[in-house]
Amino acid sequence: MSKPKLLITRRWPKAVEEAAEKDFDVTLNEKDIPLTIEDMQNALKNYDAISPTVTDVLNSQAFEIQNVRCKILCNYGVGYSHIDLPSAENLGICVTNTPDVLSDCTADIAMTLLLMAARRAGEGERELRANKWIGWRPTHMIGAKVTGKTLGIIGFGRIGQAMASRAHFGFGMKIKIFSRSKVSDDVLSKYNAEQLNSVDNLLKQCDFVSLHCPGGEPNRHLINSSNLSQSKRDLILVNTARGEVVDEVALADALKNKVIRAAGLDVFDGEPKINPVLLLAPNLVMLPHLGSATLETREEMGFRALQNCKAFFKGEVPLDKVA
């Protein structure tokens, strides 16, 4: 019996690529660059399975084809807002993701950004590299204290809770959350957290806010000029969720005019392109989508994607089926 044909759209860690070849007839994207919509359409017609990433565009247009061969999209990543789920479902294509395995590392990056923004670490390093540091002085590069402050978390799934654990138990931070669904009292009590009824109220009450909600149109510009203007003075905002969740022009304006104190971003709207207005903000720390970027996590993401794919072709329901 022939192996299912699997397209891996970006290069994976070597150990995972080798594991994939044991069970699948694998095609790798040797150039390791994002595929075009036309590329994805051809792939949907020529492969039994595709493992896309956040860099792949699988909007409704990508699915407007005949003679579809693909039966499963085993997404390499927890977020799947880049995949038009209704279009995939209409063509009978199963969609899976890779939750759990990247929660800790993404929360680590969120905490890194929070600390860097609060303590002006990016500005400090740039000053040193430019050979402009003239020595220690009491008023130099004053930042914000983190320990004991209030952290607001938007989206309280696995990653949001991992962030709460680091902030509450590691830095004694008070935790307030916003989630569209009611979070159980048992979960909230783990972090002595309080659930608020709106994003606006959260921004008004918190010293720091970290985003861990899904992307996609429902959450596009969830953070915008209106609620930023009402936020607590000296707010520091962190986004490791999806770029479109933040109105970047509004954020840049709020940073420039000192409406908020600072921000840290690991994701961008339209990445890898960066909105030029962000580059002008010295009180903004930026990382190139490093949330899951440890070898252990990137390998586990691949193994999880393969696990879902193998289960599907055995006639089982994949563990991480989202559509």
Helices 121-129/103-118 angle, 10° precision: 70
Nearest alpha-carbon partner for 9 in 38, 41, 43: 43
* Helix H or strand E segment including 140: none
DSSP code per residue over 193-214: -EE-S-HHHHHHH-SEEEE---
Q: How many Cβ atoms are within 10 Å of 249's Cβ, its own excluded? A: 15
> Is beta strand 208-211 parallel, antiparallel or unpaired with respect to 72-74?
unpaired
252 — phi, psi (to 5°)? Answer: -60, -40
Contact 284, 266 (CB under 8 A): no
Q: Which DSSP state fits 261?
A: S
Residues 6+ apart with CB under 8 A from 2: 25
- Find how far residue 43's CA is from the centre of its chain: 25
Helices 103-118/158-165 angle, 10° precision: 50
Distance CA 237, CA 260 (A): 8
| Residue 153, beta-bridge partner list | 177, 210
Positions marked catalytic: 242, 271, 289
Report the number of secondary-structure helices (H) and strands (E) in the chain. Answer: 13, 12
- Alpha-helical runs (H) found in 222-315: 225-229, 248-256, 276-279, 295-313
Contact 211, 238 (CB under 8 A): yes
